[in-house]
Structure 1
């Protein structure tokens, strides 16, 4: 019997992204992004275009700040999906180190997702 893999839901995709960030797995973090990519980011520059620049931001800015003991947790996720698009909002509890001291921030998260032929 052949088993078919069920397509990921928007919520599955978002939760996998959160887990990838928490694990500092850059390949998994970038899996869900496609070019052209436009991101309005938490820290400057506020607008980033393209996967290469966004990958750099994760590797050279976020992961060093996040460190080995930082937090990255999603709560209050709400997903509204229909057809090939989904819109999601939530809150991110995000912690890292600034000036040698641990810091925690709560951030608003807004995502727009589109279904692609590969899932």
Structure 2
């Protein structure tokens, strides 16, 4: 079983630092993506491109992580507070980051935003 708590916090740290190399090291080369920009996509390069565009538009950081996982550690849900700035001002909202893992490597990454 992967140490899901460590993986979750490493992903959040990489996102907040805009360290796409560190993030890419945690994901499968064909990682499935959704909730980051429009539609879905696959691959490390798509991951980098989507997050670069997202952070350029939102200047978002993630805090207050609550990490939950299934017993084998294959599915991890992270409840986050996303704080950022848009042209209209600052915001704070809840997001869920879903990670699916295989042998400790992220095979799927999806963001869900609360209303």
**Structure 2 length normalisation: TM-score?**
0.75
C-alpha distance in 2 between matches for 1:23 and 1:80: 27
Task: Output the aligned Cα RMSD.
Answer: 2.4
How many angstroms apart in 2 are the aligned matches of 1:15 and 1:81?
Answer: 18
The aligned counterpart of 2:78 is 90
> For 2:98, which of 89, 96, 110 is the aligned residue?
110
Number of the residue aligned with 2:17 = 23
Which structure has the higher relative contact order (CA within 8 Å, separation 6+)? 2
What is the alpha-carbon distance in structure 1 between the residues aligned to residue 61 and residue 94 of structure 2? 11
Greater share of strand residues, 1 or 2?
A: 2
Shifted more, 15-24 versus 102-111: the winner is 102-111
CA shift digits 1:42-98 (9 cap, x unpaired): 431x21112111111112x1222343xx4212522112242xx51111212112221
Supply the distance in 2 between the matched residues of 1:12 and 1:116 (Cα, whole angstroms).
10
Gaps of 5+ in 2: 106-115
Is 2:55 the partner of 1:63? yes
Q: 1:113 to 1:8 in 2, by over 3 A?
A: closer
Q: Secondary structure at the match of 1:43?
A: coil
Larger radius of gyration: 1
Instruction: Could you list the structure 1 runs, at least 4 aligned residues long, displaced by more than 6 angstroms after superposition.
Output: none
Number of equivalent positions: 105
1:14-53 alignment runs, 5 A limit: 14-44=8-38, 46-53=39-46
